[in-house]
Each structure stands twice: as C-alpha cells, then as structure tokens.
Chain A
C-alpha cells in the first residue's frame, strides 16, 4: 500500500518539501538545545515545564478526540462516519508521534529516556502515561492500516481487529485521563489539584479533536477526489458543540469552587491568569481571548443556521481550536506554575528556539498526517471509482 505515498502530484510534493524545510529548522534548533541544554528555552527554576509540555497536553487531547468518530461508528453503527473513521485514527497516529517527540525534546537527558522502562517506578504517573500513549499509538497504527487494507481489497477487516478497535476506546479515554493525573495528583499545585481536571481535559479534547477533524475534512475535500460527506461533518460539529459546552461548564464549576471557598492557594493562580498578580499580567489578554473564542464558538455551533453554513464552519473550528489551545496549553502551564510554591511570580514566555523546535515537530506531524491521509483518500477513491 505504501507505494501510493510516493505517487503524488506536484502540489503534494511541494507541500511536503515546505514541511521538510520547517522540520529541518526545528532539527537545527534542537541540535543547539541538545548541545547546550535547556538554557535555550524560556523555562526557569519556577516554571520548570513550558511550551513542549503545553503542546504535548493539547495534542494528547487531539489524539484522544479521534475516539469521537470511533464510538459512533463501531458502537452505534452510525454509517455516516464510515468514511471518516480512518481519518480520525490516522489523526491520532500523527498527534501521538508529536506527543512522544515533545516529551523527548523536553528531557534534560534525552539519551537516558529509556530509563523510564529500564527502572520503572510503579508509583510514577509518567510511567503509566508512557504505557498508554504507546499502546494507543500502536493500536491506531494497526487498526488504521488493517481496516484500510481490507477496504482496498474489498473484504471485511480481519476479525481480530475488532477487539483491538473496542480496546482503543478505553485507551483513548485513558491517555487523556492519565495525562490529567500527571498534573492533578501533585499536592502543592493549587491550580491543578482538582478532581475536575481529567473531565475538563476530556471535554476540551472532544471539542478540539473533532474540530481539527472537520478542518481536515475540508482540506481533504478540496485537495483530493474523496468527499468525507457533509452530513458526517455536521454530526461532528454537534459533537464539538456539546463537548465545548461541557468544557466551559466544567471551567465554571472550577471557578465557583475556587472563588466561593476563597482559599488563597487556589485563587492566586486563577487571579494570575485572568487578572494578573502583583503587577504581572502577561497571561491576561490570552485567557480572556480564549474564553471569548470558546463562547463565540459555542454560539456559532448551537444556532442551526450558523452551524449549517458551509462557509462559516471552518472559521468556527479555527476559533475553537485556538480557544482550547490557549486554555489547555498556555493556561495549564502558566496557571500551574505561577505563582510558585513560595509565592513568587516568575512569568514564562517561550524563546524563539523553543518555538522552532515545537514547530518542527508539528511539521513532522503534518508530514505523517499528509502521507497517511494520502493513503486513505487514494484507497477510498480507488474503491469507489
């Protein structure tokens, strides 16, 4: 099947070449970081995780969001999703590869990364996070590949893929739950120390993942002969809408508990994010933008004639992706680390190099996504034509 990937139009190759250039820039920046240490980043003693872990968290959500097409199709026989399930699975693959790379570039001693497996510490959530992320990655690769191959040969996928498909559902929930547990089990971080964190992560993931998928459907429709189907996209947009409402609702639950209980160790973080603390307010415009984008997104999706507008929908999705990204990556990191456990306010902003490395990883993710989507759409065109 792989031969499909190397037979492409000029546009296809130009696109891949552009991505390769961005990726190379990322690699060059990473070589510098590898040689000189994480001093090249904006992280500090007080804000010890930054842009990498922020984007990691977001992308775990995007990967988990893929399950929103798997559940309706495989559990509820929702036929409309038949065409796009593979897109969801391959999106998860690309997102997970990016996640794992973001973890690697965040390590101070990347060469020792395998120590996590060599000296497993069964009390460390990071150990379990590695397990579920890798498990979900392999599941999606195998499932996506086998299902696509079967489609190409016009046979049913082998029977053994079905248990794997069902298994991938709890894994999808699992990767994001465990990722939330990385944060919410830490005693000294008031912002993260909340039982609503995992549900909030999932809600925002089930909004962001399908929103990305809708955008990709537009792209696929424009650049290939394969049509994912407007009805499927409509259903997706409803899923985005309700997940986003849940996300905002959970956020307000958090706000209520924090401000009504009036416990300083919890208030100070949200104060910092939304109003600034001791004159430090770098996050304030971002957080209000994020909240506004999510509200606008909900409005545009809840009103039927706005949601049904083919021209508007991609813009709605972009707003939602941006809103949830700010909320979950920037906000989650800055809110968690500022103020520090000793109530110092050390602000964080990524450096150019940090940004380049992250962009490089996104570029690689897009390369993987492009190739996988090319496979998927070509096979589907072949079968229909």
Chain B
C-alpha cells in the first residue's frame, strides 16, 4: 500500500509539473488504487486462493490433438463470454444485426500452425509431425509486456504475480496495445459482442463495443483456488502454476523436458512455455 501510494504521488507530482493541473491529478491518486484493487487482492488472498510469485503456463505439444484443442478453445471462450461470429444471431432479441466481418473476430486462445506460432523458427526440414500439429497460442503474460508499456491509460496492467490484466471500463479503445503486442494476442471489440454469445456466463462480465480484451490467465478462477478452464479440459496438455517455485508442476515439467517460448529474441520474456 505504502509503495503504491508513493508511486501515485510521484506520478501526480510529475503530471502537475508538466502542467495538466491539479484536478485530474487528484482523481488519479484516488481512483488508481480503486480500480487496481485486484492487485491488493493478490497480496491478501481469499482463503483457498491460488497464489504465485509468477504465474506461468506450460503446454505439452505432444498431447495436443485436434479434439483437445477444440475443447480448450471452446471452454475458454464460453466461460469468458467471448463472441463467436459464427453463432446465429437471435433476431428477436437483436433485430437488424449487421453481417459480420470475420477478420474482426475476438479470440483468447486459438489454434495456429507451428510456423505461425513460431515464425522465427520456420524450417524447411521441420519434422512433419510438428508441421501438422495444432499449436495453441494465447497471451504470454510477458514479464516485459510491451502492451502494458504502450497503454496510455493503464487499462492494461501487470499484477505483481505476473498476470497481465485489462480494465474493460477504463480502456479507451486506442488499440496501441494491439500494435505493441508481438504475439497477436489481443482482440478489439469492433462491435457489440453480445448478439454473438450463445449462452452468457453470468459470473464473468460481457464487454461493450470499443474495448480490447485477451486471455486473463483465468485470474477469476485462480482467486477461487480453481484451475484455469483450459487446463481443466486439456487432458494434461496444459499446466498452470508458479514458475518461481521449483516444486510447482510447470517447473517440474520444464526440468525434465526441452521447452521453447515464442519470439524470445524480442526480450518480452513470455510466461508460456511449449514442450516440444
């Protein structure tokens, strides 16, 4: 708390010095603590909540089959009210819905070919099994997340436990974070997503048009002591845990297997590993 308020104070001081004036600065110091309250939650967790120094994910590519991948994507998107542009719109509830542009779709986790997931590792002589394997890609919850740096409103922010989260109510929809993310992990709501949600999960917010979204590492599940949705249905292909704890499941896997991360050369330090 102390650290936080000192940080806001410094920001306030800097901002007033630049000359924006005192009024917005005051509201800055009060609201930045409120809306980022989740970071305090991480420090004084609910009973039973899963906590970590640095959350990370390990994907065992040998366990990914088309079927498993399909289940994972569906579980994540359904639970997080991610719109599906192939969903037939209920004309009664949403009359005059305009046709969709599939290039404007929203996705949190999805299937890619190896050479798309790892464009810098494209290789003519890559073993066939990798060429046809369905790779899963999602947000990497990078340590040096370019999206966090780029965001002009702190609507995208990094929690102390490594999860990169979004405040849907603060996002102005400038999409700077999308330009900044080297992994194409972010989606923008080009339109109201609600007509394209088959069944709304009441425990998770739906988004409005004009904001960006992405995988939140199931922060809402971890807070309740549960595993992420994708992990649950992955038949062991995905594990999520504390990368800094040598006894954690991901670390045990990383000890025994060779794993790679996407675009490591860029220095964003992804927290998602792929066992090859």
Contacts and interface: CB of A to CB of B under 8 A. Distances in A.
A344 B15 CA distance: 40
Contact of A108 (B31, B106, B210): B210
A141 B120 CA distance: 49
Contacts of B263: 188
Interface stretch (A109-117, A289-297, A318-326, A355-363): A109-117
Interface in A75-124: 103, 106-110, 112-124
Q: Is the interface of A mostly helix, strand, loop or mixed?
A: loop
B161 to A, nearest CB: 20
Interface stretch (A40-48, A64-72, A168-176, A250-258): A40-48
Contact of B149 (A48, A124, A182, A189): A124
A280 interface: no
Contacts of A340: 184
B154 A46 contact: no
B154 A188 contact: no
Interface string B5-35: 0000001001100101000100110011000
B189 A45 contact: no
A186 to B, nearest CB: 5
B176 A120 contact: no
A39 B188 contact: no
Interface stretch (B71-79, B111-119, B239-247): B111-119
Contacts of A108: 171-175, 188-189, 209-212
A119 B31 contact: yes
A39 B120 contact: no
Given A116-B153, A186-B150, A342 B28 contact: no
Contact of A187 (B98, B151, B182): B182
A44 B116 contact: no
A342 B187 CA distance: 14
Contact of A186 (B98, B180, B184, B209): B180
A20 interface: no
Contacts of B208: 109
A45 B104 contact: yes
A45 to B, nearest CB: 6
Contacts of B163: none
A36 B191 contact: yes
A43 B190 contact: yes
B103 interface: yes
A282 B268 CA distance: 32
Contact of B153 (A41, A43, A115): A115
B152 A124 contact: yes
B172 A107 contact: yes
Contacts of A344: 116
A337 B117 CA distance: 17
B104 A44 contact: yes
B172 A115 contact: yes
Interface stretch (A125-133, A144-152, A215-223, A364-372): A125-133
Contact of A188 (B15, B183, B192, B210): B183
A285 interface: no
Interface in B93-126: 98, 101, 103-107, 112, 115-117, 119-120, 122
B179 interface: yes
B137 interface: yes
B155 interface: yes
Contacts of A49: 175, 179
B146 interface: yes
Given A108-B175, A188-B263, A341-B183, A37 B155 contact: no
Interface string A328-346: 0000000011001111101
A142 interface: no
A351 to B, nearest CB: 10
A109 B211 contact: yes
A112 B179 contact: no
Contacts of A186: 146, 150, 179-180, 182
B166 to A, nearest CB: 13
A182 B183 contact: no
B150 A107 contact: no
B2 interface: no
A265 interface: yes
B170 interface: yes
Contact of B20 (A39, A117, A346): A117
B190 A37 contact: yes
B112 A342 contact: yes
A37 B115 CA distance: 33
Given A114-B24, A343-B115, 7 more contacts: A37-B210, A39-B191, A107-B210, A182-B176, A187-B267, A343-B116, A343-B119
26 contacts: A36-B192, A38-B188, A39-B104, A39-B190, A45-B107, A45-B178, A46-B184, A108-B174, A108-B175, A108-B209, A112-B172, A118-B27, A118-B153, A119-B32, A119-B153, A122-B14, A126-B150, A126-B152, A186-B146, A187-B146, A187-B267, A188-B263, A265-B119, A341-B183, A342-B184, A343-B115
Interface of A: 36-39, 41, 43-46, 48-49, 103, 106-110, 112-127, 130-131, 182-183, 186-189, 264-265, 336-337, 340-344, 346
